[in-house]
Amino acid sequence: MKSLKIICPNGHLGFAPLRPESFQLGVQARPDYIAADSGSDDVGPVPLGSDTSTSPQSWQRQDLEHMLLASRKLGVPMIIGSAGDTGSNSRVDMYVTMIQELAIKHGLAPFRLGYFYSEVSKERVRKAIRSGSPVSGLDGYADLTEAELDATDRIVAMAGVHPFVKLLQQGADVIIGGRSSDAALFAAPALHHGFHADQAYYLGKVLECASFCAEPYGGKETVMGEITASDVCVTAMLPAQRCTIASVSGHAMYERSNPFEEFFAGGMLDMTNCHYEQLDERTTRVTGSRFLPDAKVRVKLEGAGKVGERFVGLCGIRDPYTIANVDKVIDWAREQVRARFGDTGYELHYNVYGRDGVMGDLEPLRDQPGHELCVMVQGVAPTREMAEELTMIGLRQMFYARLPDVKGTAGSVSFPLDEVLPASAAYRWTLNHTLEVDNPMELFQTGLIEVGT
C-alpha cells in the first residue's frame, strides 16, 4: 500500500451533527477508513461522574448511521473513539447497541464489530499508589492520594493506538472505542498498514478535529488525510473550505499549551520541524514530524467525583444603586443561608452576568457592570432537599437585601421564575494523572462480535 486515506467528518461525534454535503464528498473520494472521536474532557466532569452523555442520543445515532452506511457501502472500516462523550463502559455498550440496531434497520450484510473498554477500577489505581508507583498529576495536579481516589466515582484511561491496532489485526470492520486519544484512532490504521509512526501520529493529530484544520472557520465538515511513506496531505472536502498552511499549522496549537508536542500512551509527537507546503488550493502537505517513543508507557487517567446535588436559581437587577451594591445583596443572602445551614457542608455560588459571570476572577472590567444584571445562584448539598432549600434561600433572600439608601423597598431583584430548578449533580475532576503500565493493553479489554448473522 503506497498511501492510505482517512476521512473524518466530526471532531466530537454527537455533540453537534456532521454536515452531510462534505461527508458525501469525502465518501466519494473513496477513503480507506472513516473515523471520528466522540469524546472530550471539554464537557466537564459531570458526564463522566454521573455516567451520562451530554450529547442527545438522536444526534449520536444519526452520525453513526451516516458513517456506518458509508463504511459498509465502500467496504472499508469505521473507527469511533471515546464513545458517548466520556468513553465509559456504558457509553461503549450504548454505541455497540446502536450499531447493531442500525445493521438490522438497514439489513446490512454481516460484519465484525470490535470494541474495547477504558474504565479503570479504583483498586487498580490504589495498588499503584500503595506499591510506590506514583500516579503523577498533570497540569498542576499533585500526585494522587488515596483520599482523592476515594472521592472519585469513575475513572477512564486514555487509550493510545494499541487497542485499535489489536482490533484491526483481528479483522474488525467497525470499532467502538472507550476513552481514547483522538489522534490515536487515525494513527492506528496507518500503523496497522505499515506506515511510519512519524507520519501516522501526525495524520491523527491533523484529522482529530475534522474541519478545524481548514478555513474559513466552520465546524463539523469532513476533511481527508492521506499518508505516504514520506508525508501527510490534508484536504478540505467542503468546496468552500481550504486546508492552508496557516490553517493546518494553526491547528497544532488548538487546545494545547505547547504547539510542538503531543503526548500519547507510548510516546510523543514532535512537530518542531514540521514543514508545511500548499499542494493545491484545498490541500496542504506536511513533512518533518517525528514520533519519539517512550521507554516506559504512562497512560493518562481521567476521573470525576461527586460533590453533591445541585439546584440553580435566577434573578435580575435593574436599579443602578442595587447593581453598584450587588456584592452586598449577595452577602446578605449568604448570611441567611449561614443562619440556616452553618458555615460548611454545602457550596453556594453566584455568577453575576453583566459584570463578571463569564470570566469570574479573570474579568478586567469587573467595575463596569451593565445597566442590568442576571444573577445565577447555584446551591450544592449532600441531598436534593437541602440543595433546593439552600438555593431557594440564597436566591429569595436577595429580594430582601437591606441596602441603606435603596429607593425601591418592594424588592431588590426581579424573578423570571418563582422556583429554583434541579440541575445535574455537581462533580469535579479528581483525576488528571498518568499511571505507568508494563503492558500498554493492560487497562483496555477488547471484544469482537459478529453483527448481522
Partner 1 sequence: MKTDKLHQLAKTIRSKNAGVNKITFDIIFRESAVYQRVKRSGVITAASMAALYRIPLERISDFVEYDPGSAIKFTIYRLKPSGSAGDGDIFGAQQYAPLLDLEIPG
Binding site for partner 1 (CB under 8 A): 41-46, 138-141, 217, 246, 249-250, 252-259, 274, 276, 302, 307, 310, 347, 349, 351, 357-362, 364-365, 378, 380, 426-429, 432
d(CA 168, CA 200): 15
- Is residue 276 within 8 A of residue 260, CB to CB? The reply is no
Q: Which is nearer to partner 1, 31 or 394 (CB)?
A: 394
Q: Which is nearer to partner 1, 138 or 292 (CB)?
A: 138
d(CA 70, CA 174): 12
**Amino acid letter, residue 59:** W
**Amino acid letter, residue 183:** A
Q: Which residue has the cell 459584570?
A: 355
Q: Which is nearer to partner 1, 229 or 358 (CB)?
A: 358
Minimum CB distance to partner 1, residue 327 (Å): 15
Minimum CB distance to partner 1, residue 348 (Å): 9
Q: Which is nearer to partner 1, 25 or 43 (CB)?
A: 43
d(CA 59, CA 46): 20
Q: Which runs of consecutive H residues, i.e. helices, occur in 195-296?
A: 197-207, 245-251
Q: Which is nearer to partner 1, 159 or 191 (CB)?
A: 159
- Of residues 51, 136, 117, the one with CA closest to residue 85: 51
Minimum CB distance to partner 1, residue 252 (Å): 7
Minimum CB distance to partner 1, residue 294 (Å): 19
Q: Which is nearer to partner 1, 75 or 140 (CB)?
A: 140
3-state secondary structure at position 426: strand
Minimum CB distance to partner 1, residue 245 (Å): 8
d(CA 61, CA 414): 41
Which DSSP string do the residues of 135-189 spell out, in sequence order? -EE-TTPPPP-HHHHHT-SEEEE-B-SHHHHHHHHTT-SEEEESSB-TTHHHHHH
Minimum CB distance to partner 1, residue 255 (Å): 5
Minimum CB distance to partner 1, residue 215 (Å): 9
Q: Which is nearer to partner 1, 9 or 45 (CB)?
A: 45
